[in-house]
Amino acid sequence: MLAKIKFCAKVILKLGFGDGVLFLIRNQLNSKTVKLSNITHPIFLRPGTTDVNVFLQIFRDKEYHIDLGFEPEIIIDGGANVGLASIYFKNKYPNAKIIAIEPDSENVEALKANVAKYDHIYIKQAGIWSSKTKSKISNKYGLGKWAMVIEECDSEDKENALPTINTVTIDELMEEYGLSHIDLLKLDIETAEKEVFSGNYMSWLPKTRVVIVELHDWMAPGCSKPFFSAINEAFNNYSFSQIGENTVIVNNDFLTTIKQLV
């Protein structure tokens, strides 16, 4: 009972009395939608899934409440799940063009429902990787829909005709959507960051202004090492901070780099 009271108090404290009470009531009734006063459109959450966990991380715990010091125009939301980070960013930066990448088909359907009424949020179903390949997707660690893992298919997977999904690289995304640079790259890709930062990053990482990444060494040891190695190679001058589960890297040479590329 005490734990429930603490949970309710924290929700109300973080969301405000009106939105907090409304969220708790709707959650108790297994309502599928939540309306927040500072968010333009209602948010669709699937009852009995980890959608509520993601919602609380973003809108209660404010894991992306970061003072960037500028207004991002181009955002890539890697590991978009059901679109809650994209919604948060779009309401905070209404003029931004957002590319939301999510591999899981059920999550993608919920993502589409959540961002349908917003302009300039583009959805691509794919897994982010360092090369173009086929990958399998699974709930490998039994953590639910907010932790779907992609892994490159091996010969056994192909022989067993397991469901696969195409991967996409960051530079391919930039070419497909006509991006000269990335103002904000958010990655929550459930251990795939280990692969993304292991190769083929020098074509796009120096053109990235801010990286917000959740590193998953607790799921797969070794995720952090290639990330920081890539950052140290690509950026001569950067700042580092930790906000909740997210590592934030700001490329302080970004403006100089972009001027050189023009």
Per-residue pLDDT reduced to its tens digit, 26-60: 564 465 889 999 999 999 999 889 999 999 999 99
pLDDT tens, position by position, 82-125: 999 999 999 999 999 999 999 999 999 999 999 999 999 999 99
Which of 172 and 256 is assigned the larger pLDDT? 172
| Predicted pLDDT of residue 26 | 53
Q: What does the domain layout of the chain look like in residue ranges?
A: 1-62, 65-261
Confidence of residue 154 (pLDDT cuts 50, 70, 90): confident
CA–CA gap between residue 182 and residue 204 (Å, rounded): 8
Helix/strand/coil (H, E, C) string of the chain? CHHHHHHHHHHHHHHCHHHHHHHHHHHHCCCCEECCCCCCCCEECCCCCCHHHHHHHHHHCCCCCCCCCCCCCEEEEECCCCCHHHHHHHHHCCCCEEEEEECCHHHHHHHHHHHCCCCCEEEEECEECCCCCEEEEECCCCCCHHHCEEEECCHHHHHCCCCCEEEECHHHHHHHCCCCCEEEEEECCCCCHHHHCCCCCCCCHHHEEEEEEECCCCCCCCCHHHHHHHHHHHCCCEEEEEECCEEEEEECCHHHHHHHHC
SS3 245: coil
Q: What is the pTM of this model?
A: 0.87
pLDDT above 80: residue 184: yes
Q: 65-261: which CATH topology?
A: Rossmann fold (3.40.50)
Q: Per-residue confidence at 185, pLDDT binned at 50, 70, 90?
A: very high
